[in-house]
Structure 1
Amino acid sequence: MLAQSLRASRSSIARVARQQITKRTFIAPTAVRRADLVQDLYIRELKAYKLPAVKPTDAEGHVQAFSPPKAPKSPEETDIANELKAYETSTVEVEGQAEGGAAPVEESWFEEEPEEEEAHH
């Protein structure tokens, strides 16, 4: 009896072992998550961080006070009238006419200047 029970137990153990081996081949092993102390501390500190309250006076040292630009000065209308009168009374200058009525002096535009002689070294 003892021999039969040993044979039966051996065959059952072999059958269970074969089933376990086949199960292991079909199931992909998962990596065991190891505790990362630095990451846990970092995440805990991020969750515990509170933003400081923003005050309206915080920007005083960093931003200049706004001052609107000065309005441009308007031209005085009396000056414009005087300038217009001066323009109207001025004489028109026409090229080729002399002011005193004298004949215009002809100028030679294509006059060549004498070349300077270069000193030889």
Structure 2
Amino acid sequence: MFQSSLRASRSAVLRVARQQQATLSRRTLIIPTAVRQAELVQDMYLRELKNYKQPTVKATDSEGHVQKFTMPKPPTSPEEGDIANELKAYESQQVEVEGQSSTGAPPVEEDWFEEEPEEEAAGHH
């Protein structure tokens, strides 16, 4: 009985070993193709870089993309106006003070806190 169990376990070990070898051989086949593809892409990229020619820049390339610069107009000086006449008009204005009227009549006093007389209820007597 012991020998039969050894044979069964030996056959199981051989099956597992064959499966692992098959997966290992598959893995080794996949790795070189991946490296070859990477080299292919790298070769294409390097070839395109070597064939690239930078376009020449012309002086008129910026037209339509950049606005023309124009100097802004200088501001007008306040001294250019008729300051003397404006000053006389300002000085001749009549001063208005709050609470005083221009006619000279005494102001009407308004009582804002006037209290309403309390109405006595007729039923409280």
Bucket of the pairwise TM-score, normalised by the shorter protein: 0.5 to 0.7
Given the two structures, how large is their TM-score scaled by the length of structure 2? Answer: 0.52
Which aligned pairs between 1:64-83 and structure 2 lie closer than 5 A?
64-75=67-78, 76-78=80-82, 80-83=83-86
Q: Which has the higher helix share?
A: 2
Q: Within the alignment, does 1:62 sit opposite 2:65 as a pair?
A: yes
Q: 38, 41, 64: which is aligned to 1:38?
A: 41
How far apart in 2 are the matches of 1:110 and 1:47? 94
CA 1:108–1:44: 2 relative to 1, 3 Å: same
**Structure 2 unpaired stretches of 5+:** 1-30, 116-125
2:105 equivalent in structure 1:
102
How far apart in 2 are the matches of 1:68 and 1:107? 60
How far apart in 2 are the matches of 1:82 and 1:110? 47
2:89 equivalent in structure 1:
86
Q: Within the alignment, does 1:48 sit opposite 2:51 as a pair?
A: yes
1:38-68 Cα shifts (integer Å, max 9, x gaps): 3212211112211111111110121111111
* Equivalent position SS for 2:61: helix
> What is the CA-CA distance between 1:81 and the residue it aligns to?
1.6
- Count residues in correspondence: 81
How far apart in 2 are the matches of 1:41 and 1:50? 16
Report percent identity of matched pairs. Answer: 67
CA 1:108–1:40: 2 relative to 1, 3 Å: same
How far apart in 2 are the matches of 1:66 and 1:90? 46
Given the two structures, how large is their TM-score scaled by the length of structure 1? Answer: 0.53
- RMSD of the alignment, in Å? 2.7
